[in-house]
Every structure is written in C-alpha cells, then in structure tokens.
Amino acid sequence: LDMEGALRGAIDSRAFHVYYQPKLQLRGGDIAGFEALVRWDHPSLGLIPPMDFIPLAEELGLITQIDLLVLEQACTMGVQCLARGYPVTMAVNLSSLDLKNPDLPTLVAGILAQTGLPANMLVLEITESFAMEAGLGQTSILEQLTALGVSLAIDDFGTGYSSLSYLKALPVNSVKIDRSFVRDIGTDSRDTMLVSTIVGLAHSLNLRVVAEGVEDHGQKDLLHHHHCDEAQGYLVARPMPADQVFAFLDQSA
C-alpha cells in the first residue's frame, strides 16, 4: 500500500474530514467552543484517525498543508455557528513543525480574512512538549499569531517533565489538563490534588483551564468544584461530523 502517494493525493483532493468535539463551560453550562480533529477519508480504508497518519505527514513535510486545510474548514464552521447565533471558539491543533514555518502567521491571517472568522474566535493548540523546547524564533512566530488576536492553548498540559518557565515566556491564554490526570480524579486523591494545583497555578497566571477526557458526572462535578473553567470529553459529546454541529448546539441551548 503506497501510503505516501495516497497522502499526497489526499492533500490535492482535500480528502480530510474535520470532526468537532465540544467544550462545556462549567460555570453556566454553555458550549464554549469546539476542538477540530482531523480524519483522513481514504478511498479503501475509510476514515483514518490522526494518530495513524500524522506521524507520516510530519515525516514527509506535509503536515502544515493538512493543518491549514483543517484550519480553513474549522474557521468556516465557526463563521456558520456565529451566523446561527452561537459565538463559539474553534480550536485547531498545530504540529510543532507548523511552528517552525515563518510564513505561518501570514497563512493564518489569510485564512481568517478569507473565511471571515473573527480572530478572537480562533484557538491554536500547541503541545506542551513543543512549548518546552520553543526557541526564540518560534516564540516570535507565536507572538505574531497572538498579535492577530488568536488565542494559544497548551495541549496535554502536565505531561511534560521539565520546567514551567515557558508559561511565562510564551504568550499563551489557556492550558488543557491532559486526560491522564482527569481519569482517576474521583478515586485517586493525588490526581484530585494535581488538578486542583494546576487550576490554581493557571489562574494565578491568568490562564483559562480546560479539562480533557471528562467521561462522567463525578469527574465534571469535581472539576467544577476545583474551579476548572471548561470540560471536554465523552460526557459532553464524542467528536462529531460537521453536519451534526448545529443540531448539537440547538439541543444544548
């Protein structure tokens, strides 16, 4: 199976679907926004999850093209949500390779202009491992992105093991607590303590906190009790195809 040829062909034919997973605002219960999650629509293999092709796309230097296709779809979806009266944020995952491309801020600005999404409705998720290693050049790319008015979120927060100094150095607006900390929050008091400490740390730096992998009401209630801002996970909804987003918003309102 020629995966490389197929992936190149998929970029040319834009054969990527974007699924959307909502984030619930814990205070008030509104839907705060959605995270865009890519799937490759392969002609014979069906929908391929990101973990099965993103490493290859990175290796082949194709990831930025894919991420920009996802960004364009997510921004268009954001504009359509806004038109229906739902000013929700749209979060898009960036590969660390995207952030080595000095053209990225211009490309993002172009997609915002072309789709008409207000920049303050766009969140770019960068991984904690990228954040920890970000050098000077990459910091300036992040600064140019935030200068456009978009927000930056640290994904998988808490899984890195080095210093937290990047939180001060980088212009980030939120952190997403990795789901490995959320899973046992109801039964393991150390996880509860960690989550509560992460929320306190983040709030003291004026960062919003999103908990990932929230699967039951017990976890959600504990997160709310510990002042976490937003919850994402199967309890709120699984990632859904684009054609289910408006019905989901109507039913949640």
Interface ranges with ligand G (CB under 6 A):
21, 37-38, 49-51, 54, 63, 67, 70, 93-95, 155-156, 179, 212-215, 233-234, 239
Q: Select from 40-48, 109-117, 150-158, 182-190 the region that touches Na ion (CB under 5 A).
A: 150-158
Those residues whose C-beta lies under 8 Å from the C-beta of residue 158, and which sit 6 or more positions away, are 128, 177, 178, 180, 181, 194, 198
Applying CB under 5 A, among 67, 155, 229, 230 the residue interacting with Na ion is 155
Chain residue at closest Cβ approach to ligand G: 233
Those residues whose C-beta lies under 8 Å from the C-beta of residue 14, and which sit 6 or more positions away, are 69
Helix axes 245-252, 63-83, angle to 10 degrees: 40
Nearer to Na ion, 147 or 164 (CB): 164
Q: Which does 230 bind (CB under 5 to 8 A by kind): Mn ion, Na ion, ligand G, none?
A: none
Nearer to ligand G, 199 or 231 (CB): 231
> Helix %, strand %, coil % for the chain, to 5?
50, 20, 30
Nearer to ligand G, 60 or 83 (CB): 60
Supply the minimum distance, in Å, between the C-beta of residue 178 and Mn ion.
10
HEC profile of 33-50: EEEEEEEEEECCCEEECH
